[in-house]
Structure 1
């Protein structure tokens, strides 16, 4: 495994690293368009790790969360889980799509999920209702990582119910 090299190309940065020769020609994997040198280095290290340990160049997933929810329900959830549970989950889809449906799967991070949880507390009347939304988010992102492989890690594993909830503030 070689080093990840960073180059500046105009106003953006690019990473590149060498991969083993197959046909006696040098091969490099490169990607450009990073705003900072640090972003390019982090992306390059991840790409290099994926190439050498999974054997493939992993493409970025540009699927948005709203489309993924529909895909997840249709192709996995309805076939594996009981119909009543699927019905309950579908009820929360409308609100989830409204609040976080426009985010790409690879943009969803733990901090963003905590902000979304605060936003979802405006649509919920209690902690139980909020937990239902969070349960759908956790299940869907866990399957996006483990079952479908759309994301590298599950950002919802660090998700906690915020203390400053909208419905708690409203009552006082």
Structure 2
């Protein structure tokens, strides 16, 4: 509730997983809320690639198992370094239209052993860096665009669509 009244917000999420053997920064960003219809966000973000990715740790999820779409098609808990805009418009009859548009480093098409990974297991650039490399380092000079558009005709009900457009190969590949 406090975040709704502030126009500049810093948000961070640090995870302790696997019995505190793994510590990870999942999100760390600054957001400037110019007005409800327009806000700018930058840092380590969770791009709006599907609703479940955005709310994967939320109490809004009704199951403990990730949906099949997020297990085999769309990566969940995907995070990346980037910059984006977002907002929400009130429409007639208490409907709402929301949008998110992010420019991020993009996904990696291989794992640490340089083997191809299925799309749902692609690693964001923010994954832990190997010795000698830098976390959030881009593997090619291309950026990726992630967008989401949502329409809420009733409170608690939403239709949405997401888009990811970007290369996920190394700079040495065509």
Structure number, greater radius of gyration:
1
Quick check: TM above 0.5? no
What's the TM-score once normalised by structure 2's chain length? 0.28
What's the TM-score once normalised by structure 1's chain length? 0.28
Is the helix fraction higher in 1 or 2?
1
Is the strand fraction higher in 1 or 2?
2
